[in-house]
Amino acid sequence: MIIYLMDILATFVFAISGGFRAVKHELDLLGVLVLATATGIGGGVIRDVIFGTTPPMAFRDERYLLVCFVAGLLVFLIAPRIARRWDMVLIADAVGLGLFAAIGAEKANSIGLGPVGIMFSGAITATGGGIIRDILVREIPDVIRTDFYATAAIAGGAVFYFSVRLGLGNFQAFVISLLFTISLRLIGMYAGFRLPKVRRLPESPSKLTKNRKKAVALKK
């Protein structure tokens, strides 16, 4: 029951962040609700479809959808008030990330997946909604562009796997994974951690290849 309530809370917080992406693009009420819902339940829906758990939990328990609608309405009505407390929203978002990562890892472990499957499940549960949100507004998803976000979720899944393999129970592994992911995300936020970025090429690969061939031909 505690995990369920925390899952609902995480859905609410993620839906709030999705609603604010709609504010950024000045969408109408429907747009706010769509982005809030996509962000709140998107990751869990993707995970359930991949695992063959259909209909996804978010549609079998409509409280998840209701929570997303409430979050979207709050953003639509009182966005300025929420924005003034954005630091608290970010902290709550880190908690939501940890919860979704741990829940995804636990579900993957329960069906017998290995370490890669567990880490993938934790990551997609925690970041899938944000990816859908960004695609809907034609942005490069944040999880592959900025922030120490998906990395924290993947690491949380790995911690869950190794905790279970060390003989800890599922609930103990869940709590450790949750706390580790939250800590890693908060450290990344306040310390400004970023993964190394690929450097832009001066020209397209095909043009660089042509230039190399020309240079070789001239030397001959």
SS3 per-residue string spanning the chain: CHHHHHHHHHHHHHHHHHHHHHHHCCCCHHHHHHHHHHHHHHHHHHHHHHHCCCCCHHHHCCHHHHHHHHHHHHHHHHHHHHHCCHHHHHHHHHHHHHHHHHHHHHHHHHCCCCHHHHHHHHHHHHHHHHHHHHHHCCCCCHHHCCCCCHHHHHHHHHHHHHHHHCCCCHHHHHHHHHHHHHHHHHHHHHHCCCCCCCCCCCCCHHHHHHHHHHHHHHHC
Per-residue pLDDT band at 219 (split at 50, 70, 90): confident
- pLDDT at residue 88, rounded to an integer: 80
Confidence of residue 118 (pLDDT cuts 50, 70, 90): very high
pLDDT for 220 = 65
- Domain ranges for the chain, please list them: 2-219
pLDDT digits (tens, 9 = 90+) for 72-82: 999 999 888 87
Residue 124 vs residue 86, higher pLDDT: 124
pTM recorded for the entire structure: 0.84
pLDDT > 70? residue 146 = no
